[in-house]
Amino acid sequence: MSKKGVVYKRTDKNGGKYIGQAKSDARYKARQKEHDISNPLAECKFKEVGRAKPGKDLNVLEQKKINQYGGLQKNGGTLQNKRETNNGR
C-alpha cells in the first residue's frame, strides 16, 4: 500500500466532473462510497490522476489537476468543485 495520497477525478453519468483528494488508499475507497451515497443517481466513475505526499504536496497536486481539468464552474470552468485548494495557486 502506498504512503502517498491520491488525487482523483470523479465523472458522473451526465458528464459532470470533480477533482478530489484522499490522504490514503483506504480513504480513497471510503470517499468513493461517500460520493455514491450522497449522489445515488449519478453513477459515478473514479480515476486516479496522481499521487503525492499527504499535506502540502497533495494540496498542490490537487490544485494543479483542478486547473488542468478546467477549473471551477463558478469561475467559468468545467468542474463541479465548490472550492479551490491553495486559493487557486
3-state secondary structure the chain: CCCCEEEEEEECCCCCEEEEEECCHHHHHHHHHHHHHHCCCCCCEEEEEEEECCCHHHHHHHHHHHHHCCCEHHHCCCECCCCCCHHHC
Residue 33 has pLDDT above 80, yes or no: yes
If you average pLDDT over residues 9-33, what whole number do you get? 95
pLDDT of residue 41: 87
The confidence score (pLDDT) of residue 87 equals 58
Mean pLDDT, rounded, of the chain: 92
What is the pLDDT at residue 11? 96
Give residue 39's pLDDT.
84
pLDDT value for 85: 82
Give the dihedral of Cα atoms 40, 8, 34, 76; nearest 10 deg: -60
5 pLDDT more than 60: yes
